[in-house]
Amino acid sequence: MATETDSQSSSEEIDWRSESSSAEMTRRDRAEEFYRRWVYEPVVIAWSDVRTRLGILILGGYLLMAAVDVFGLWRNPSTNQAPQLLPPFENWSFPLGTTNSGVDLLALIIDSTPFILLMVLAGGVWATSLAVVVGTVSGYKGGRVDTAITSVSDFFMAIPGLPLVIVLAIALSPENPILLGVVLTINYWAGLGRSIRSQVLSIREASYVEASRTMGTSTPRIIVKDVLPNIMPYVMVNFVLAARYTIFASVGLYFIGVLPYTGQNWGVTLNNAYYQGGLFTTEALHWLLVPMIAIVGLAFGLILLSQGMDRIFNPRVRTRLSGESESVEEDENTTTTGMF
Amino acid sequence: MATDSTQSTTTASDGVSDPILEIRNASVSYNDGETRVLEDVSVDIDRREVLGIVGESGSGKSMFASALLDAVPDPGRLTGQITYHRENGDTVDVLELSDEELRQFRWEEISMVFQGAMSSFNPTMEVGAHFKETLKTHDRNVSEGMAFARELLENLYLEPERVLNAYPHELSGGMQQRALIALSMVLNPEVLVMDEPTAALDLLMQRSILRLLDNLQSEYDLTIVFITHDLPLVAALADRMAIIYAFQFAEIGPRDEIIGNSAHPYTRKLLNATPNLDAPLEEMQPIEGEGPAPVNVPSGCRFHPRCPLATEECRVEDPPLESFDRHYPDHRAACHHREEAREEIPLNFGEGAQQFDHQPSESVASTASTGRPRTGDEPPLLRADDVEVHFEQSQGLLERFGGPPEVVRAVDGVSLDIQEQDLVCLLGESGCGKTTFGKTLIGLQKPTGGAVEYRGQDIWEASGSTDVTRDEIRAALQIIHQDPGAALNPNRRIVDILSEPLRHTHPNVGRNERRSRIHSLLERVGMNPADDFMGRYPHQLSGGEKQRVALARALLMNPNAILADEAISAVDVSLRIEIMDLMLELQSEFDTSFLFISHDLSNARYFAEHGDGRIAVMYLGEIVEIGTAERLIHDPRHPYTEVLRWATPSLDLDDMEASDPPIREVDVPDPVDPPSGCRFHTRCPVAREACREEHPDLEGLDDAPGKAACFREDPNHAYWDSEPLEGAEESDDVLADD
Amino acid sequence: MERYEPETHDGTLSLVGDGDRVEVGSLDDVVAAVGGATYTIEYDERQRKQPWLDTDDGRLDVDVRDAVTSLKHTPELVDELRDHDLSTERYGLPERTVVFADRFVDILERQGREHE
């Protein structure tokens, strides 16, 4: 049995196994390969799809807005900084118009973008990562671990979601966007975890997982290398869905006034606009529409992106688009079904 | 007459006097003719003949089957002419039929059974309702039709009432496939097209079904077109045979001509590549390369890149499929070098088979039944000691209610020693426990009774502190799975997949070193250029290449034993020998032991004889016979071994006509409730009362190497005085004696 | 073959066989657990041409209510159901009902293939 650690000593065992070959890779090659696999290919694939491309552009726009705020490239919102209820696209100093107290709407939207993005990210990451951990561990380990985890998630699923969030929101008054994101998706993971679990259950039986077990690969490594990549498309889609859920939930809760008003915010703006007659007078209509479009736009961008995620993780799409030789295997359209 | 009257570009001169189907220039294309998956096929099918069509996967043979019923999957385009002749002289132009006429034509005139048909049932209807529905949609009298259905089922060795009242999912695969054959015949069609109908089944079941088909064919005057990848299987049934290569017929002719006197190099090489019991081992040769995909069909003769006789002419000009022999005008081959083919590519069976028979038996004696000579008191590499694996059928959490759970005795008291560098084949039908036992031996399945030891250490008691540690054992016992497609993680590149074992065996080597090791091993297993393969994903490899990667992965662990679970059954026929050879070469290079699981005696024989090992025959969780391949084939002692021998198709023309199986029941009993006494007594042709009452142990043979578990080995056993069971023979005549 | 037949009483589905009865749950719950009142099975191009399949596009819509109230089941399945409680909830539905629905969908999905 070979216990040698360097190439020299282990080479004496079986000559062909350690013969030096042309496959030597330099550091540069490696960096290039890394770039190719983790940056170039995903970008090419994402970009090749119209919907994903649009999604990326939309989300890019929001990131840009966040950057504008962080670097202070646009004025901060304050009352009476402009004429009251200025309609949009009339005065290019205030392109989106103003509120009834003379606040620049664009400044309002930009000002709360970083907050919203952080909250959405926190909600999505919390919900999906917890669901992935719970679902994979419970599905892969099985037995008592599974029973315990399933009972806990059953408990969480049994609690009605919205009332719980409202109670927590009132009790904690979360002002930190990250905490807020977590509170909003506090029991979102349970349902997702269960569906991940059932997917993991079938992957666990796959021959390649058994092969890894036979080699003595540790359970965490099997989960990371063999199980996770196969549920990644599903997880990414659900990450986006959870993020979208976070926006809608936050806006809803701000709107009904359960969450603390920390300055302005899309939901708060919407609320103000509504209570000050945005629905009934055409003069204030833009005040209502602008935050709505901001919300819907972000959700739409996320949805578009999620549709492309599936492709990024699909090895068949990857190879096709990065111009590698395609499968030499059975040709789909010849329906040579079940030759063996 | 009918044949030559249709003077189209190609003439089928198949010597067919009363054709039921005439196919002229049939082509199937996709993408506006860009991709052609069947090209210019012209052939006549004689009334009441059995035409066997052989081709590898992706050769277009399924497309030919679909074309006969004008049922080419969308958006494929079928062109050419297919004429069907009714017995009364009417002719039907199949491709001109309206949808409604076509619906009637299918199943009433030509019906089809295909492999995927096993999942074409309506799961909410009982099997009987499928028959009734079929009869109703074709406006037949249901009660008469059902009576005929019962007759058919009985002819197929099924209990009609039981099958008709069962839901499809309650039947075993073999029963389903027979029920499907009955369904396809219930409208009394003239032609039965069978496209790999048995490929998912065990060899014994396949052969039994073929035997039954043979009976049905003569009883109901059927014309059968049987399409398969398995040449020897169909040879036993066919009157004529055709070989398809790369979407065209390469050769067609009478069965005996095709087997014994074929003129196309592909046919001859395919025959030589087919593992069988007759050919001397050293002459079995794989065919290099693989069949082309429809998008890049070679110019000229399609076989020329793989053909040893190829000349410039072959590269440029596509040889027509034409007859060439005055004595056999109905033998046609598409080759420029027919004479050379017959001379240069000798067939390895037939005459060779005799040589093989006369091999001195000394070699048998030297490789004694216990495998290698044991060196001193060293414990064997692996020892199974009275291993039992029982599964509870319903694995609910709360087993307290209800009666005791039903237990499947997958493995029931098996003992086996495997020495260092040993080779053992586990042979048996599906459900006999061979895979479970194999996995138990390599520590993937925990036995519910008995023990498995690795070099004297119980593998389930091993820990980090025992002499032989758990990690050592885990690394030493590796597996190659049956389906190479499922054995590789689709999301990882080959280089990553193969890095995994190196992480265990050489945890400290750098990335470059790992890559060069993988590189050289890929070259060793015949995957060139290795650099190219390393960067690929599994879906970019063919089945054979995937299996090589799986083999490489197992070898990189430096294992002491590898379990190959039906590892070649998913690989194309022409490549099987190559993969087996590779395994055997690497076995000796790496000094590992091999455990090879198969349901096919000819594959097991190839492996066991080349690797100088043993074959262990398993039946319902027990080993019933063990010995060298040579002895098992020529002197089987257990009647079940005899049955498996019968099930193994032969290429010997004298020996080819199918006989009835030496077996009383086609189906394997339910492993939940195995028969009492000898478990084989319900199917054994020579079972007697004693077999039902007493359980025979696996004991060493007096006059030959190996062991068998049958009372017939003991001349003084009460067996000889007891009454034969119902349906069993008193004499030994049923057991063919070679 | 000994089998359990479905019986519905006041909207509650039970499996009955040979003096034995096991309650599965309300028909509405079964339908909810299966995921809708119809379940579509797809057949490939060759399969859909089988004479007993009345489908042109290869899609067979199974009426879940009809199917669960007519499909008979094996004693093994009934034993398994008994292992699960009708009063514990799982995913908002009785556990036994969910297990039954799982097995039922499994049978539909296999399209008649034998149990592995």
CA distance A212 to A222: 7
- Chain A, window 171-230: residues with a beta carbon less than 8 angstroms from a chain C beta carbon: 194
> Rounded to 5, what percent of chain A is helix, strand, coil?
70, 0, 30
Which positions in chain A touch C46 (Cβ < 8 Å)? 335, 337
CA distance A15 to A3: 16
Residue labelled with tokens 């189209």: B8
Question: Could you tell me whether strands B622-628 and B699-700 are parallel, antiparallel, or unpaired per DSSP bridges?
Answer: unpaired
Q: What are the tens digits of pLDDT across the range C49-77?
A: 888 887 778 888 999 999 999 999 988 88
Cα–Cα–Cα angle for B383, B386, B388, nearest 5°?
Answer: 110
Which positions in chain A touch C113 (Cβ < 8 Å)? none
Give the minimum alpha-carbon distance from B76 to chain A in angstroms, rounded to a whole number. 8
- State CA B377 to chain mean position distance: 40
Whether residue A215 and residue B500 make contact (CB cut-off 8 A), yes or no, is yes
CA distance C12 to C94: 13
Torsion of CA B645, B651, B653, B659, to 10 degrees: 30
Nearest to A158 among C45, C46, C89 (CB): C89
The reported pLDDT for the residue numbered B731 is 65
Residue of chain A minimizing CA distance to B75: A333
Give me the sign of the Cα torsion angle B276, B281, B284, B286: positive
Averaged pLDDT for residues B64-84: 90
> Per-residue confidence at B734, pLDDT binned at 50, 70, 90?
low
- Domain B382-393+402-613 carries which CATH code? 3.40.50.300
Query: Looking at the complex, does the CB of residue B125 fall below 8 Å from at least one CB of chain C?
Result: yes
> Per-residue confidence at B403, pLDDT binned at 50, 70, 90?
very low
Of B601, B555, B606, nearest to B577 by C-alpha is B606
Q: Residue B530: is its pLDDT beyond 70?
A: yes
Question: Could you tell me whether strands C93-94 and C89-90 are parallel, antiparallel, or unpaired per DSSP bridges?
Answer: antiparallel
Give the minimum alpha-carbon distance from A266 to chain B in angstroms, rounded to a whole number. 41
CA distances from B230 to B52, B272, B646, B650 (A): 10, 13, 16, 11
Which positions in chain A touch C92 (Cβ < 8 Å)? 157-158
Backbone angles phi, psi at B256, to 5 degrees: -65, -35
CA distance A172 to A165: 10
Neighbours of A324 (CB within 10 A): 14
Q: Give the amino acid at C12.
A: T
CA atoms within 13 A on the CB side of B534: 23
Give the minimum alpha-carbon distance from B117 to chain C in angstroms, rounded to a whole number. 6
What DSSP line would sit under B483-523, residue for residue? -HHHHS-TTS-HHHHHHHHHHHHSTT--HHHHHHHHHHHHH
Q: Residue B242: is its pLDDT beyond 90?
A: yes
> Most B CBs within 10 Å: which of A4, A204, A328, A330, as the mutation test of the B interface?
A328
Backbone angles phi, psi at B203, to 5 degrees: -55, -45
DSSP H or E segment with residue B425: strand B423-427
Of B105, B118, B120, B267, nearest to B198 by C-alpha is B118
Q: Residue B368: is its pLDDT beyond 90?
A: no
Backbone angles phi, psi at C62, to 5 degrees: -95, 125
- State CA A303 to chain mean position distance: 10
The reported pLDDT for the residue numbered B529 is 83
All chains having 3 or more CB pairs closer than 8 angstroms to chain B: A, C
- Chain C, window 6-25: residues with a beta carbon less than 8 angstroms from a chain B beta carbon: none
Averaged pLDDT for residues B296-303: 88
The residue that leads in pLDDT, A46 or B241, is B241
Whether residue A6 and residue B508 make contact (CB cut-off 8 A), yes or no, is yes
The reported pLDDT for the residue numbered C98 is 85
> Most C CBs within 10 Å: which of A157, A198, A333, as the mutation test of the C interface?
A157
**Helices marked H in B506-570 — which ranges?**
511-524, 530-534, 543-556
Give me the sign of the Cα torsion angle A204, A208, A212, A213: positive
Burial of A143 (0-12, 13-18, 19+ CB in 10 A): exposed
Domain boundaries, chain B: 15-238, 262-353, 382-393+402-613, 636-738
Question: Could you tell me whether strands B77-85 and B91-93 are parallel, antiparallel, or unpaired per DSSP bridges?
Answer: antiparallel
Whether residue B118 and residue C79 make contact (CB cut-off 8 A), yes or no, is no
Q: Give the amino acid at C75.
A: P
Look up residue B540 and give its DSSP letter.
Answer: G
B607: left (phi over 0), alpha (psi -120 to 50) or beta: alpha
Q: Give the amino acid at A88.
A: P
Sheet with B449-454, side-by-side order of all strands: B407-418, B382-392, B449-454, B457-458
Averaged pLDDT for residues B523-539: 86
Averaged pLDDT for residues B647-670: 80
Query: Looking at the complex, does the CB of residue C44 fall below 8 Å from at least one CB of chain A?
Result: yes
Q: Residue B641: is its pLDDT beyond 90?
A: yes
Nearest to A18 among B115, B199, B517 (CB): B517
Nearest to C91 among A157, A335, A337 (CB): A157
Are the CB atoms for B47 and B19 separated by under 8 Å?
Answer: yes
Give the minimum alpha-carbon distance from B521 to chain A in angstroms, rounded to a whole number. 6
Nearest to A335 among C45, C90, C91 (CB): C45
Question: Could you tell me whether strands B407-418 and B593-598 are parallel, antiparallel, or unpaired per DSSP bridges?
Answer: unpaired
> Per-residue confidence at B68, pLDDT binned at 50, 70, 90?
very high
Rounded to a whole number, what is the distance in angstroms from the first to the last CA of chain B? 45
Averaged pLDDT for residues B111-138: 91
Whether residue A157 and residue C46 make contact (CB cut-off 8 A), yes or no, is no
The reported pLDDT for the residue numbered B402 is 42
CA distance B737 to B705: 18
Question: Could you tell me whether strands B19-30 and B707-708 are parallel, antiparallel, or unpaired per DSSP bridges?
Answer: unpaired
Average pLDDT, chain B: 85
10-residue stretch averages of pLDDT, chain A, 340 residues long: 38 40 58 78 79 88 89 80 77 78 82 87 92 90 85 80 83 83 86 85 88 91 89 85 88 80 73 73 78 88 80 70 45 33
Averaged pLDDT for residues C75-97: 80
* 3 state SS of B251: strand
Q: Please, which residues bridge with residue B335 across strands?
A: none
Q: Which tokens belong to C33?
A: 């657990």
* 3 state SS of A161: helix
Q: Residue B366: is its pLDDT beyond 50?
A: no
Nearest to A340 among B229, B471, B507 (CB): B229
Q: Residue B733: is its pLDDT beyond 70?
A: no
CA distance C86 to C97: 7
Out of 3.40.630.30, 3.40.30.10, 1.10.3720.10, 2.60.40.10, select the CATH number for domain A41-317. 1.10.3720.10
Of B529, B594, B512, nearest to B555 by C-alpha is B594
Query: Looking at the complex, does the CB of residue A337 fall below 8 Å from at least one CB of chain C?
Result: yes
Whether residue B114 and residue C46 make contact (CB cut-off 8 A), yes or no, is yes
Give the minimum alpha-carbon distance from B398 to chain C in angstroms, rounded to a whole number. 5
CA distance B513 to B519: 10
CA distance A112 to A268: 10
The residue that leads in pLDDT, B111 or B11, is B111
Out of 3.90.226.10, 3.40.50.300, 3.20.20.330, 3.90.25.10, select the CATH number for domain B15-238. 3.40.50.300
Look up residue B31 and give its DSSP letter.
Answer: T
Burial of B716 (0-12, 13-18, 19+ CB in 10 A): exposed
Are the CB atoms for B672 and B406 separated by under 8 Å?
Answer: yes
Of B585, B627, B580, nearest to B603 by C-alpha is B580
